[in-house]
Amino acid sequence: MKKSEIIVIAHNIRSTHNVGSIFRTCEGFGVSKIILSGYTPVPLADENDPVQGRLPHEAEKITKQIHKTALGAEQLVPFERRETLDLAAPDLAEFHIVALEQAVNSVSLQDYARPQKIALLLGEEVHGIEPALLAQCDDIIEIPMQGKKESFNVSVATGIALYALAT
């Protein structure tokens, strides 16, 4: 099977360390782009801050925190900032929107037949992906859990999902 093209949508991820880890994982799996939306922290791409109105010292602090776990991957993986998330946006039309979430209608990651163009949607660390966004997704995939905990850390879950989807 031909390798899938994958973009990752990190929506409402609070932790800069999780964002940095997601960047590093995405770089390792050849993700073509990351969309950072909602309140997800955004690193500086260059001297033009992608978050309007953000003070320079705040932008530098967030960038340093992301860099701590990204180790430079934030400079290698193209990314963009979106204040709000519109899964029906024209640039996402050719992608199969796949939420990584536990839901009654989710498909186990190991049983999922991956499409050629995937936009993997990640949600908030504690409460997950909002039901309104889940309703807009083409598919919902879930990582089978065998322990007593209900879920993995969002950056760990991203790695597991990308391994299954990208290889």
Domains of the chain: 5-166 (3.40.1280.10)
Global pTM value: 0.95
H/E stretch holding 161 reads helix 154-166
Which stretches of 29-153 are DSSP H helices? 56-70, 131-134
Q: What is the pLDDT along the chain (167 residues), one digit of tens a residue?
A: 567 899 999 999 999 999 999 999 999 999 999 999 999 999 987 767 778 778 888 999 999 999 999 999 999 999 999 999 999 999 999 999 999 999 999 999 999 999 999 999 999 988 999 999 999 999 999 999 998 888 899 999 999 999 999 98
Q: Are 16 and 166 in contact (CB under 8 A)?
A: no
